[in-house]
Amino acid sequence: MGELFGLIAWGPTGWGDEIAAGAWLTIRLAVVTLPFGLLLGLAIALAKESSNSYLRAVGNVYTTVFRGLPELLTLFVIYNMVQIGANRLTQMIAPGSQFEISGFAAGVIALGVVFGAFASEVFLGAIRAIPKGQSEAGRSLGLSPWQTFRLVRLPQLWRLALPGLGNLWLVLLKDTSLVSVIALNDLLRQTQVAVGVTKEPFFFYLIACLIYLFFTLISQVGVNRLEAQANRGFAAR
Amino acid sequence: MTDLGATPPRVSPANPPAERGPFGLDKPLFDRLLVAAIILVLAAWIIPNINWRLVDRYWFRYLEGIAVTFQLVLISVGLGAALSLPLALARLSKRRWLTGIARGYITFFRGTPLLAQLFLLYYGVGQFNDAFEAIGLWWFFREPLYVAILTFTLNTAAYQAEIMRGAIGSLPKGQEEAAMALGMSRWPIFFKVILPQAYIVALRPLGNELILMIKGSAIASIVTVLDLMGITSLAYARSFNFQAFFWAAALYLIAVEAVRRLWDVLERRLTRHLALSH
């Protein structure tokens, strides 16, 4: 047992610092993807609520595709397409030069695209749950449609969307493990490296699972706090 | 009769004027033309670019991959459903230790990535191959497909247990009380009164879980299972043709859409008796 714990020591002899670096990358990946995915999700939800039927169609096709594809496949395709696309673009602007989008950026884009598809459904449910009288009242006060959205509906949206978004955050956190298959040295990838050297798969994968579990539990506490804060002023049912 | 001037024409909200699309065309007509044009342009772009050698060489293997994916999903979801019932009951039990165990199990499998669980069971257990050989279970843990089925079963059982717990908890207490008043004993009450109603409540989330498993099963390809995703990676590694992934994407989308529609039909049939107002 003592030998095993020596393996996760800090420094050149143990794998503690490598795994911690991987865990840190996992957190950064999820945290950076979140705002991008939220904005994308909100934009698609608004497209699906729009009075313009073409915007609605675009929103629905987007959701159908990216909710229906396996995350692993989406990640792989988008990761490669982003790389190829960036390469073609640089060749057009400055032929001969080399430019590579970092694996991190490509991972964020791929994860964000999937997150956006699911988030749009959460936002859509929340938008529809806000009584129509709210935006009518806003309009009759003389607010513009954009002001009504920003000042009246958006603040209420947050409270209604929070439980669904909390779940999506947990899904995102776990989906980051899929980028280990592509190229990034996230928590799971670093664990694989450690396993390759030490030949102690059970111990290291268990540690990785426990770290993910720790992130999940911390997140749940955070989401509960946010929900309590958003629901203050509403009588508990 | 005094002339009050021209009154603006009234538009009754029940009868809005026909929507006009661009170019003065009827909107439905314009929409249909637009969709046709988009399909034509896409077809004209895609069809000449299809690599028929790839199709010719791998179409049968893709079918095999779909069969493996379905095998993987149906077995895991079925076994998971069986396992989820005792878990949900344990979670709802009054015995503290039973609730604790169920809660720990559910938290672990819902709180960690499926891929990490698969690695833990496939590589982690592989470390103890001598011990498993000694108890005669090594044939099982040596086979990636079996380990994938085991992992997915344990994983989906945790999710399904939470769904069933919610569904059972949502039933009115009067159902159980009425059955008790009729003199039914504990297990018949559960299987004949509670469970059928709980499954109706749980139908939609269970359908979502089935779809999540179809998508999640692609992860099995990482431990060399030749499911649809595994065949795709194989075809890509051998041909270096990126179209391999587009075929897989189309097939997954078709599978997921088919299951979704099937589930809608199922739900309509099973809830016929609940004639709701809408």
Query: In angstroms, rounded to a whole number, what is the distance separating the alpha carbons of residues B209 and B76?
Result: 11
Query: In angstroms, rounded to a whole number, what is the distance separating the alpha carbons of residues B253 and B231?
Result: 16
Q: What is the mean pLDDT of chain A?
A: 88
pLDDT at B26: 78
Is residue B12 a part of any domain in this protein?
no
Query: In angstroms, rounded to a whole number, what is the distance separating the alpha carbons of residues B88 and B85?
Result: 5
Is residue B24 a part of any domain in this protein?
no
CB contact under 8 A, A178 and B242: no
Q: How close B226 gets to chain A, by Cα (Å)?
A: 15
Is residue B8 a part of any domain in this protein?
no
Is residue B186 a part of any domain in this protein?
yes
Query: In angstroms, rounded to a whole number, what is the distance separating the alpha carbons of residues A96 and B78?
Result: 55
- Count of domains observed in chain B: 1
Distance set, CA B93 to CA A63, B132, B169 (Å): 39, 34, 12
Distance set, CA B220 to CA A79, B154, B157, B165, B257 (Å): 20, 14, 17, 28, 21
Percent of residues in chain A assigned helix, strand, coil, to nearest 5:
80, 0, 20
Residue B136, pLDDT above cutoff 90: no
Query: In angstroms, rounded to a whole number, what is the distance separating the alpha carbons of residues A170 and B222?
Result: 22
Cβ burial of B128 (10 Å; 0-12, 13-18, 19+) is: middle
CB contact under 8 A, A205 and B119: yes
Per CATH, which fold does A2-228 belong to? Answer: MetI-like fold (1.10.3720)
Residue B1, pLDDT above cutoff 50: no
> Would you mind telling me the total number of residues written for chain A in this entry?
237
Question: DSSP labels for B166-201?
Answer: HHHHHS-HHHHHHHHHTT--HHHIIIIIIHHHHHHH
Could you report the per-residue pLDDT of A136-173, keeping only the tens digit for each?
A: 999 999 999 899 988 998 888 888 999 999 999 999 99
Is residue B170 a part of any domain in this protein?
yes
Residues 6+ apart with CB under 8 A from B258: none
| Spatial contact of B110 and B102, defined as CB atoms under 8 Å apart | no
Token pair recorded at residue B93: 């039990």
Mutate to test the interface with A, among B66, B108, B119, B163 (most CBs of A within 10 A): B119
Q: Which residues on B lie below 8 Å from A208 (Cβ)?
A: 116, 119
Could you report the per-residue pLDDT of B4-43, keeping only the tens digit for each?
A: 555 555 555 555 555 666 677 777 888 888 889 999 998 8
Domain edges within chain A: 2-228
Could you report the per-residue pLDDT of B95-135, keeping only the tens digit for each?
A: 999 999 999 999 999 999 999 999 999 998 888 888 888 88
Q: Name the closest residue on chain A to residue B109, using Cα atoms.
A: A213
Q: Name the closest residue on chain A to residue B121, using Cα atoms.
A: A202
Could you report the per-residue pLDDT of B43-69, keeping only the tens digit for each?
A: 888 888 888 888 888 999 999 999 999
Which residue is it, tokens 């990640």? A75
Query: In angstroms, rounded to a whole number, what is the distance separating the alpha carbons of residues A196 and A15?
Result: 12
pLDDT at B13: 53
Is residue B33 a part of any domain in this protein?
no
Note the ipTM here: 0.88
Q: Confidence band (pLDDT; 50, 70, 90) for B249?
A: very high
If residue A183 lies in a helix (H) or strand (E), which one and from where to where? none
Could you report the per-residue pLDDT of B141-181, keeping only the tens digit for each?
A: 888 999 999 999 999 999 999 999 999 989 998 999 999 99
Considering only the beta carbons, identify the residue of B119, B123, B249 that sits closest to A73. Answer: B249
pLDDT at B22: 67
Chain A residues whose C-beta is within 8 A of a chain B C-beta are 53, 64-65, 68-73, 76-77, 80, 170, 174-178, 180-181, 188, 191-192, 195, 199-203, 205-206, 208-209, 212-213, 216-217
Token pair recorded at residue A93: 């602007």
Query: In angstroms, rounded to a whole number, what is the distance separating the alpha carbons of residues A236 and B114?
Result: 35
Token pair recorded at residue A123: 């936002």
CATH number for the domain including B119?
A: 1.10.3720.10
Nearest to A71 by CA among A179, A168, A188, A208: A179
Is residue B216 a part of any domain in this protein?
yes
List chain A pLDDT tens, one digit each, 237 residues: 566 776 777 777 778 888 888 899 999 999 999 999 999 999 999 999 888 888 999 999 999 999 999 999 998 888 888 888 888 888 888 777 776 777 888 889 989 999 999 999 999 999 999 998 998 999 999 999 899 988 998 888 888 999 999 999 999 999 999 988 877 888 888 888 888 888 888 989 999 999 999 999 999 999 999 998 888 877 655
Is residue B20 a part of any domain in this protein?
no
CB contact under 8 A, A73 and B222: no
Chain B residues whose C-beta is within 8 A of a chain A C-beta are 27, 31, 107-108, 110-117, 119-120, 123-128, 211, 214-219, 221-222, 229, 232, 242, 245-246, 248-249, 252-253, 256-257
Residue B79: give the domain boundaries: 57-268
CB contact under 8 A, A69 and B126: no
Residues 6+ apart with CB under 8 A from B56: none
CB contact under 8 A, A195 and B123: yes
- The amino acid sitting at B86 is P
